[in-house]
Structure 1
């Protein structure tokens, strides 16, 4: 019984670390969006999907 409860505590601890990591990532992204705004979004789109460079350029021309 003691071993079982110990494994449950470990599982809860792992979930706690994952939750903390999730919160940290969420806050970091929120801060990046707040400070960098649309510029960082366009840069991120370029990094994630190279072919979207032309699309982003067209969007800027429209504005």
Structure 2
């Protein structure tokens, strides 16, 4: 098991993983996230929720 010597080592590990996330995972899963978000927003905006769900706007 590897031990982490300093915060710089942790930063270096994440820096090495960031391009992989941008190049591989983000393009692969972004359509799925967009589809799920679309259906969630449609459900919340529909009148069938009986005030069960509310849209929270954090300015994003």
Same fold (TM over 0.5): no
Q: Which TM-score tier does this pair reach, normalised by the shorter chain?
A: 0.3 to 0.5
Q: Normalised by the size of structure 1, how large is the TM-score?
A: 0.36
**Higher helix proportion:** 1
The structure with the largest alpha-carbon Rg is 1
TM-score where L is the length of structure 2: 0.38
